Structure 1
Amino acid sequence: MGWNTLDDIDLKNKRVLTRVDINVPVEDGQVTDATRIERIAPTIADIRAKGGSPVLLAHFGRPKGQYVPEMSLKPLVPALEDAFGCSVVFVERPSRDFIDAQASDAVIMVENTRFSSMEEANDPQMAQFLATLGDVFCNDAFSAAHRAHASTTGVAHLLPNCAGRLMQAELQALEAALSAPKRPVGAVVGGAKVSTKLDLLENLVKKIDVLVIGGGMANTFLAAQGADLGASLQEADLHSTARDIMAAAADAGCTVILPVDGRVAREFAAHAAHEVVTLNADTSLEADQMVLDAGDASAAQIAQTFGTLKTLIWNGPLGAFEIPPFDTATVAAARAAADLTNSGDLVTVAGGGDTVAALNQAGVAESFTYISTAGGAFLEWMEGKELPGVAALMQ
């Protein structure tokens, strides 16, 4: 595995500097969705059960090295106390003397690390100061692992370190999905634009057996083969890139699945009048027609393909899932993947904001093997990039 967990380090009577992600939505000083806080609760509980005292480090928003009152972590304390079932000591200007004056199992919350410009610069001075606040460093913030900051990588090099429970679960799920997956392994990559996922597609076709392309991205691939898709969202300047990706997939023995039909409408609106049309290189839509979702035959083909796989990675919807009925293909495919996961035939790992929203909408998020709430870090991991926050934990 290459990294320590909370089980590998003696935490008794230790102050455990714990990097967490508690970037939660707040309205009128109240946390409106505590999911990210709830997900770190097992790490906090384990550190305390092992005799340690968690000293939490986190950022909130983008204060750009300035003190911004509305980005203080202080209003989050009640939500932290609810999730952890214990009191939380908040400290604006931490010192080791202050920390050592607290109870031996105290949970201490340090103010927003990004109030210092040294944080994002990964300034060695800040890393050294943070290291004085604890005896052990625990990183439980996979979602910040693609950033080389003082509180994610700098301090990790200065103290004995380990992954927290959430980071451990994330890394184990990702290793099972792409580093050493059960084959055949497939991926669904959807969303609006090819341009945002070029690195991802180029990396995946070399590592997986089947690639399902959906959403506006699929339009670009179909148009690159000669289809006239009317007013559909597509990137004309990326047609040659799309053909290159198809060629690379063919060379690597990766099957690419594009929609064979689509839901087509003349307006981008909920319940717009629509029809299902065949999609291929010869398709010619009228100037005001738009493909807004994969069709029923495509959804059936995708579901059938899932049945041939052992591992599935999912990033991005198959259509404009925010507006019905253009969520139909995404929901149908997600339910097919969930059924196979529930029956033990498929390992499913999904990530990215839109993806999580789409799976929640389909009512299947609970059925997937693992859902990552880390947007950028999940994408960079899928792109095959080294994540500094993970690399810093490597033994």
Structure 2
Amino acid sequence: MKYKLLNQFDFSNKRVFLRTDFNVPIVNRKILDDLKIKAHFPTIDYLTDKGARIILGSHIGRPNLHAVGSRESLLHKNPDTDAKIIFTYLKKLYRDKISFIDTGIGEEVNSCIKDLPQGHILLLQNLRYEKGEQSKIENEKQEFAKLLSSYFDIYVNDALSVCQNRDASVSYLPQLSKKATIGFLLTEEIKRMEKLIKPELPAAAFFGGFKVKDKIGAFQKLLGKGFEIFIGGAMRNPFLKYQDYHIGGSTLDPGCDDIINQLMDDFGDKIHIPVDVRVGRMTGKEKTEISNIRFVNFLKNEEIRPEEEALDNGPRTMKLYKEITEQRGIKTMVANGPFGLIENRSFRFGTFEVARIFLENQHAFRVFGGGELNHGFNLFSKRFKIDTKTLGERCYAGNGMLQYIANDGDLPGLRAVQDNQ
């Protein structure tokens, strides 16, 4: 797909709806990681410099309006999904050029947009507070998108991380807008994804995280394009089970045995599975305390006990992964998902070793993505006092990255923009 660039549009005094992704980790109304917000600044700044009147729209978290019945109840039950938290953050940078409106989409919002001066910004409340944003009723989505589209002149999507969604503001709104295009961040992320779809070989993919089923499409595409896959995270467990290793109480993504069997039958020589893991016993009321931490080496016929879980890749595995990538002379690398339970210091080794492999392959095209993996690479950078940029290109879309690969870039949000340029 080809898209018109921002510099091909006249934004002077135009009302521009900018779909961002401000869905960042927030605890007790405090933003824990602001990198995804900052990634949108080039697009926002360009539009303000060109005299646009910007309406910022985003979702935060997964508030379920249909379950609680009202916006007030929703905000009470999910205070960390309040877009006012984002407004407070943005206000420090944009000062009197940004305002916030807490009401639902309607005439009051329209009135604020009409009064918005050139080069100024209006941040809307969390779009998922709106009944039509994620409605299962097609007509409700259409009506919400139709109403919102009447408030602006140009639609700009700047987040790959939302493009796989069928939310009204992503897949319906662009089609109903007068004009639609993509921002600087989304443009760059698409360029990175295209280098994975058309890779320079040899190529390696490091997959962690939990759900195999979410990654199966990307797995198959990358393997078919010549990638070798290196497994980590809780994803390792069904692959270990396939090898007839005893995995104890390790977490399993249910219903994926047939998927694993098919993958291994078709591409077994291209899929690398851990030969040792670090395990622990999860205890405490919330299962957050970990005891009896030890290594299990499958090559020595060691087993994970029933009360233990595999929580990280072991040193033999990561040494083997590193040796294989060195032998191959990898030219394209991608990583998605953490290799261990990175919220615990004892289980960051695997993720840190993936970061080290990326650091030591400066000649290769490298891209990494997903919230937890991004956090893990940030921790590695802080621990060893290096710039995260030396690890490769960051992608802020975790599942969006996977879906882009699996569908060769044909995502609902991108298709909607493409159809209305």
Global fold match (TM > 0.5): yes
1:1-395 equivalences in 2 (<5 Å): 1-26=1-26, 31-61=31-61, 62-64=63-65, 66-68=70-72, 69=75, 70=79, 71-84=81-94, 86-91=96-101, 92=103, 93=106, 94=108, 96-121=110-135, 123-157=141-175, 158-176=177-195, 178-234=196-252, 238-249=256-267, 255-263=270-278, 272-275=292-295, 277-279=297-299, 283-285=301-303, 287-288=305-306, 291-307=310-326, 308-340=329-361, 343=362, 345-363=363-381, 365-384=388-407, 386-394=410-418
Please report how far the alpha carbon of residue 118 of structure 1 lies from its aligned counterpart in structure 2 after TM superposition.
1.7
Please report how far the alpha carbon of residue 239 of structure 1 lies from its aligned counterpart in structure 2 after TM superposition.
4.3
Please, which runs of 5 or more residues in structure 2 have no aligned partner?
284-288
Q: Is the 8 A contact 1:306 1:337 kept in 2?
A: no
**Residues 140-197 of structure 1: CA deviation (Å, up to 9, x unaligned):** 1322222222222222112211111221122122112x22222222111123453553
State which drifts further: 225-234 or 102-111: 225-234
C-alpha distance in 1 between matches for 2:278 and 2:60: 40
Supply the AA of the counterpart residue of 1:187.
A
What is the total number of aligned residue pairs between the two structures?
A: 386
Supply the AA of the counterpart residue of 2:266.
A
Supply the AA of the counterpart residue of 1:152.
V
**Residues 58-109 of structure 1: CA deviation (Å, up to 9, x unaligned):** 2334242642344543343231122335521223344555423331222122
Say if 1:188 and 1:153 are closer, same or farther in 2 by CA, change over 3 A: same
State which drifts further: 166-175 or 254-263: 254-263
Q: Is the 8 A contact 1:350 1:371 kept in 2?
A: yes
Q: Is the 8 A contact 1:38 1:83 kept in 2?
A: no
C-alpha distance in 1 between matches for 2:416 and 2:247: 47
Q: Is the 8 A contact 1:4 1:393 kept in 2?
A: no
Please report how far the alpha carbon of residue 314 of structure 1 lies from its aligned counterpart in structure 2 after TM superposition.
0.7
Please report how far the alpha carbon of residue 333 of structure 1 lies from its aligned counterpart in structure 2 after TM superposition.
2.6
Say if 1:210 and 1:16 are closer, same or farther in 2 by CA, change over 3 A: same
Q: Is the 8 A contact 2:231 2:273 kept in 1?
A: yes
Q: Aligned to 1:120, what secondary structure does the other structure show?
A: coil
C-alpha distance in 2 between matches for 1:104 and 1:141: 24
Q: Is the 8 A contact 1:212 1:257 kept in 2?
A: yes
Say if 1:391 and 1:232 are closer, same or farther in 2 by CA, change over 3 A: same
Please report how far the alpha carbon of residue 389 of structure 1 lies from its aligned counterpart in structure 2 after TM superposition.
1.0
Say if 1:185 and 1:394 are closer, same or farther in 2 by CA, change over 3 A: farther
C-alpha distance in 1 between matches for 2:98 and 2:272: 51
Q: Aligned to 1:138, what secondary structure does the other structure show?
A: strand
Q: Is the 8 A contact 1:353 1:373 kept in 2?
A: yes
Q: Is the 8 A contact 2:217 2:402 kept in 1?
A: no
Q: Is the 8 A contact 2:50 2:119 kept in 1?
A: no
Q: Aligned to 1:188, what secondary structure does the other structure show?
A: strand
Supply the RMSD in Å over aligned alpha carbons: 3.0
Supply the AA of the counterpart residue of 1:369.
G
C-alpha distance in 2 between matches for 1:124 and 1:256: 43
TM-score (ref. length: structure 2): 0.80
Q: Aligned to 2:206, what secondary structure does the other structure show?
A: strand
Q: Aligned to 1:47, what secondary structure does the other structure show?
A: helix
Identity of aligned residues (%): 25
Say if 1:161 and 1:294 are closer, same or farther in 2 by CA, change over 3 A: same
C-alpha distance in 2 between matches for 1:100 and 1:273: 61
Please report how far the alpha carbon of residue 8 of structure 1 lies from its aligned counterpart in structure 2 after TM superposition.
2.1
Q: Aligned to 2:338, what secondary structure does the other structure show?
A: coil
Q: Is the 8 A contact 1:205 1:248 kept in 2?
A: no
C-alpha distance in 2 between matches for 1:324 and 1:314: 20
C-alpha distance in 1 between matches for 2:223 and 2:405: 11
Supply the AA of the counterpart residue of 1:225.
Q
C-alpha distance in 2 between matches for 1:230 and 1:27: 33
C-alpha distance in 1 between matches for 2:254 and 2:49: 57
Q: Aligned to 1:392, what secondary structure does the other structure show?
A: helix
Supply the AA of the counterpart residue of 2:265.
A
Q: Aligned to 2:152, what secondary structure does the other structure show?
A: coil
Q: Aligned to 2:144, what secondary structure does the other structure show?
A: helix
Say if 1:22 and 1:229 are closer, same or farther in 2 by CA, change over 3 A: closer
